[in-house]
Amino acid sequence: MNILFAQIFALFSSLCLLVSFWQRKRKNILNLQILDSTFDIIQYILLGAYTGCLISLLGAMRAYAFKKRTNKLCLILFITLYIIASILTFNTYISFLPLFAAIIYTLVVWNKEEKNIRFFSIFVFMLWMIYDILVKAYVSSITDVILIISNSIAFYKLDNKRVDPNE
């Protein structure tokens, strides 16, 4: 029964995350990502995936902190907290997947360069997809696939497309 409830919370999480990428204001994006992380926390608790749970909790805290400031101290603090959370909840080597995803995403969001955010988020969602499949977060893994495809298209169209010098 927990797996069913986990998938329901994953659906709410996925909707928040997908809608967040359509927001114009950074504040709204981060607010929806806080809500997304909150649903993820519940999902991962229900699945017994405690590394994903703590990483999601820290992700919500990071989104809140980054709404206020994005200095180097915040960056170092969150990377350190991610490492500590992963050590405390280490179960198998799959526990490293959310850790690597969180560190990469934190670095690129902190950097604020849209091209890097789009490019590296492809790899971030690949790591989360593998983790989500292994912990039976099936709805989240489907969302990860959608985001990988969407961000790949966005990267190609917006950042990697060759510009015709005659245009």
pLDDT of residue 27: 79
Q: What is the pLDDT along the chain (167 residues), one digit of tens a residue?
A: 799 999 999 999 999 988 887 777 777 888 888 999 999 999 999 999 999 999 999 999 998 888 777 788 889 999 999 999 999 999 899 999 999 999 999 998 887 777 788 889 899 999 999 999 999 999 999 999 998 998 888 888 877 765 554 54
The domains of the chain are located at: 2-160
Q: What is the Rg, in whole angstroms, of the alpha carbon atoms belonging to the chain?
A: 16
pTM given for the model: 0.86
Question: How far from 139 is each of 31, 90, 91, 129, 145, CA to CA, in Å?
Answer: 21, 23, 22, 10, 10
